[in-house]
Structure 1
């Protein structure tokens, strides 16, 4: 499924300069709605009504295309507005392969049409909806009046493409439809795989080989999840924001909890209870479920990143790093060991904590690499600018040597004059009297000038511009040198942060060994659980849901691995040879 917005929308109004009938005669502006409506209905010249599969109207009380277009035109003129193109035309098209297998039917198309208008907030506007069958792909045309029939305000087309793209993706997932040539769908699948911690469990060693061997094999085959790869970008966010209704629901659930929070642990717990993760992005703080995101201040205006850090007396990065290191050390108490559900919950959270450590390490490595790249580019830039400055300086010195008998003395006197008068006044003084900084080449005779003097005067005409170019190049070099020094400092800071993080991990800096330990512990903990234990556990509903989901996936994968091993034995295949 995909969308198309007509590049040339039907023009509803025309400026006075475009009147076709001359001054004082008004153009028939109703053609914008009328002609488009007749085209969609199949009544335009060169078309037939056979192309129409079905049609519907919204807020028009008529199905006649001419009457509907007249009502829409009258509505667009009823109240004063500055909208030049009130007629809005777009198309939703379906994949022919979906149609061939019977996934597309009129009832479903009508449901999607309603949802499209609702998503675009056009459900209260006048609209003609036609489904056409004249192409191999079924498609729906929408002709909408952007002017609201009651308020007279024009609908804003801002981000229309992004909204329709997100809508097509959501509908395709809801109805199991294809999205032809949609790169975003592949990215979403990769993101889902990246966020699935259970993927690591799937590679648990059951045949006695080391987990590094599994990770190396996955990386060689291109199947290693991004969150286990060093090249992971910890700052990547979903492209879609939460809708207004979702933000309002979040405010009802979490706003009071955020106001009562006494620390970052409370903030994380409040958002985790709503199924969201707190993450730093740029200069602010966002919450995300992996598919959409919103700034935390949108939930409560008093809970911005700076406001929370000031209230808690601790910055977010320090808390997150301490939390990650705490997760690495593990939680081993008798109460946890004696409670199977709690042990599984702790093992699951510890594995997620390891992911936080990976993100912290990879974030620090990413910052170092980024700063090194910036420094290398600025060093090259500084080198090129130095060469540029040197060329202009040599050009200026060449002009001095062609103009003055002693170019070195002329340069010294020019610099001295700059210091006394300033470069602008010094330039004017030298322009009025070139020999103030030294005698020029050649001599003036009674009957004329020697060739050397004429050449010197020609060179002097361009001497000022040569000097200005050199001075500008020198100033530019100094500015780039200051930027270069700043990037040296930023790289040094990034390296210090990375080293401080590695030192804080202590004995646990071997991340692969740590990962193996956490996967084994989670695997063993889930092996001892039953669905009944989870249902009867004394914990939050969200955690019960997460554990139940993890257990179901765990059991499904165990059965799948068992079937695969049986099949391998029957075929005499060792999967890791």
Structure 2
């Protein structure tokens, strides 16, 4: 199960999206609320939010996505349990919240909206809320016997083990041509074996790593092998350079 979370200011628009009947939406969880319509829920949120005018992004929007296989088996009662467990683990049980399931696509998922302001007017700390959501979703999945993100990735890598091994072997053969300043020869050598290499550049125009593609499969360098992360590639190249320098020095 994957979890995504962020703090937002557009409460009504988000709850309206969760309620959207074109998404075959159903309410799967409701806590500390008297109403269920988006407008009335928003108004109830606003009453509590008025106690803390300093907090502008005063609603949390979470998305909880089980795997397709798990989602096909989950009933409304079980979706309620997932949401309730998530709320409890996040320590948001004393906040107003409402959740909807969307079943319009094969990938069933939950949209959960929580008032960030509690009944004492205190705002829940949203520092690193995205990472915290991922971590709690992992805990909930383990508790309820659902597949975690880690398990899905491990299954994928196990099924692709032969491909990853092939890429690693060809990388080792081509590594002599690796140069952090000019990777074209290294890339050309791997392409001779049918492996496409795509440099990943960050927003500061700095090389962040590589993606390797072979037989319609695509992997980050670290997914092929931990030694193919950009930091390890650079480290290995520097170590190899120092070794060659010492060897050549002894021969003189």
Please state which band the TM-score falls in when normalised by the shorter chain: 0.5 to 0.7
Q: Which residue does the alignment assign to 2:60?
A: 88
Q: CA deviation at 1:183?
A: 7.0
Name the CA distance, whole Å, in 2 between partners of 1:98 and 1:80.
39
Q: Which residue does the alignment assign to 2:112?
A: 142
Alignment of 1:183-202 (within 5 A): 186=154
Unaligned runs of 5+ residues in structure 2 are 155-234, 243-252
Q: Deviations over 1:160-210 (max 9, x none)?
A: 233322323233333332235x37975xxxxxxxxxxxxxxxxxxxxxxxx
Name the CA distance, whole Å, in 2 between partners of 1:185 and 1:164.
18
1:174/1:185 CA distance change after superposition, 3 Å: farther
Q: Does 1:163 align with 2:132?
A: yes
Name the CA distance, whole Å, in 2 between partners of 1:121 and 1:175.
18
Q: Which residue does the alignment assign to 1:5?
A: 5
Q: Does 1:108 align with 2:78?
A: yes
Q: Does 1:121 align with 2:99?
A: no
1:174/1:65 CA distance change after superposition, 3 Å: same
Match of 1:36 among 2, 10, 14: 14
Alignment of 1:359-370 (within 5 A): none
Q: Deviations over 1:276-305 (max 9, x none)?
A: xxxxxxxxxxxxxxxxxxxxxxxxxxxxxx
Alignment of 1:315-464 (within 5 A): none
1:58/1:137 CA distance change after superposition, 3 Å: same
Q: Does 1:54 align with 2:27?
A: yes
- Contact in 1 for aligned 2:29/2:83 (Cα 8 Å): no
- Contact in 2 for aligned 1:131/1:140 (Cα 8 Å): yes
Name the CA distance, whole Å, in 2 between partners of 1:3 and 1:163.
9
Q: Deviations over 1:8-44 (max 9, x none)?
A: x532xxxxxxxxxxxxxxxxxxxx22222222111xx
- Which one has the bigger helix percentage? 1
Q: Does 1:71 align with 2:40?
A: no
Name the CA distance, whole Å, in 2 between partners of 1:169 and 1:38.
27
- SS of the equivalent of 1:62 reads coil
Unaligned runs of 5+ residues in structure 1 are 12-31, 43-47, 187-372, 381-577
Q: CA deviation at 1:108?
A: 1.2
- Contact in 2 for aligned 1:54/1:132 (Cα 8 Å): no
Name the CA distance, whole Å, in 2 between partners of 1:166 and 1:185.
15
Rg comparison, structure with higher value: 1
- SS of the equivalent of 1:114 reads helix
Alignment of 1:503-518 (within 5 A): none
- Which one has the bigger strand percentage? 2
The TM-score normalised by the length of structure 2 is 0.56
Q: CA deviation at 1:95?
A: 0.8
Aligned residues: 161
Name the CA distance, whole Å, in 2 between partners of 1:80 and 1:57.
23
Q: CA deviation at 1:49?
A: 5.3
Alignment of 1:207-286 (within 5 A): none
Name the CA distance, whole Å, in 2 between partners of 1:61 and 1:165.
29
Name the CA distance, whole Å, in 2 between partners of 1:54 and 1:183.
29
1:63/1:80 CA distance change after superposition, 3 Å: closer
- Contact in 2 for aligned 1:81/1:154 (Cα 8 Å): no
1:152/1:95 CA distance change after superposition, 3 Å: same
Q: Deviations over 1:65-98 (max 9, x none)?
A: 2111011122211x24421210210100111122
Aligned Cα RMSD in Å? 2.9
Name the CA distance, whole Å, in 2 between partners of 1:80 and 1:97.
42
- Contact in 2 for aligned 1:81/1:152 (Cα 8 Å): no
Greater relative contact order: 1 or 2 (C-alpha under 8 angstroms, separation 6 or more)?
2
